[in-house]
Amino acid sequence: MTDAANAVETARSERKATQQRNQQERFTLLSTELAADELRNLSVANDARRIETRRAEQEQTQRRRPSQQEPQLDLFE
């Protein structure tokens, strides 16, 4: 009976170790996926900020141009 009890205990210990290892692997995979998603989102967010910055710069440039340009002649006058 002692051998059977030892065998059961060994099987339970191995099963628990396997479950813990599997859980750790799942957490690792999930964290890797989340990090990758965050990096992708970060890239998109950075690109969006760059686009907004460029648009703002273009708007400022366009606002300055009319005041800096000489008045154009109207050919139909």
For each successive 10 residues of the chain (77 residues), what is the average pLDDT? 90 96 90 79 82 91 70 59
Instruction: Identify the pLDDT of residue 50.
Output: 86
Instruction: Identify the pLDDT of residue 7.
Output: 93
Instruction: Identify the pLDDT of residue 6.
Output: 93
**Distance, CA of 60 to CA of 68 (rounded, Å):** 12
37-to-7, 31, 40 alpha-carbon distances in Å: 45, 10, 5
Instruction: Identify the pLDDT of residue 69.
Output: 55
Amino acid at 23: Q
